[in-house]
Amino acid sequence: MNLLSKLTIKGKMILLIILPTLSLLYFTSGDLNEHFKFQNKVEKVKELVTLSEKLSQLIHETQKERGASAGFVGSKGKKFVSKLPKQRKLTDKRIKEYQILLSSIDLSKYSPEFKQKLDLLNNDLKKLKIAHSDTKEYFLL
């Protein structure tokens, strides 16, 4: 208490203003930090939702292509002759859209497990291109 009695009125007023201001800054900085963490999580979720939408579209087109390929091979090239190339173009378009989106995402923000699963998916997409040439349609058209 002896220290406070030595302060001038101006010093006491400054102390009265500084202490609450410092505590306000301390608690506000914690809130801001939490807000930025939350904002980063929201951005990651947005990216993942967009990625899942593109993957869903890609999967849908590959399923349609698979059906057309099975119909083509099963009919010994008599059916799906005109539909299969068109479907392959749609599938290729979806693959390209997915790859463009993926290249715009900073994958370093995500876990190694997530990146590993994406690598597996991308390897499967490369195999899909090879599988195109395995159907009889490759030799017939």
Among 81, 59, 57, 55, which Cα is nearest to 68's?
81
Span 24-54, pLDDT tens digits: 998 888 888 899 999 999 999 999 999 999 9
38 lies in some domain = no
112 lies in some domain = yes
Torsion-angle region of 15 (φ positive above 0: left; ψ -120 to 50: alpha; else: beta): alpha
If one counts the domains in the chain, the total is 1
Span 112-138, pLDDT tens digits: 999 999 999 999 888 877 666 666 545
**Cut 0.85: pTM above it:** no
In a 13 Å sphere around the CA of 27, the CA atoms on its Cβ side amount to 5
94 lies in some domain = yes
7 lies in some domain = no
- Give the structural domain span for 125: 43-140
Alpha carbon distance 39, 45 (integer Å): 10
116 lies in some domain = yes
68 lies in some domain = yes
24 lies in some domain = no
34 lies in some domain = no
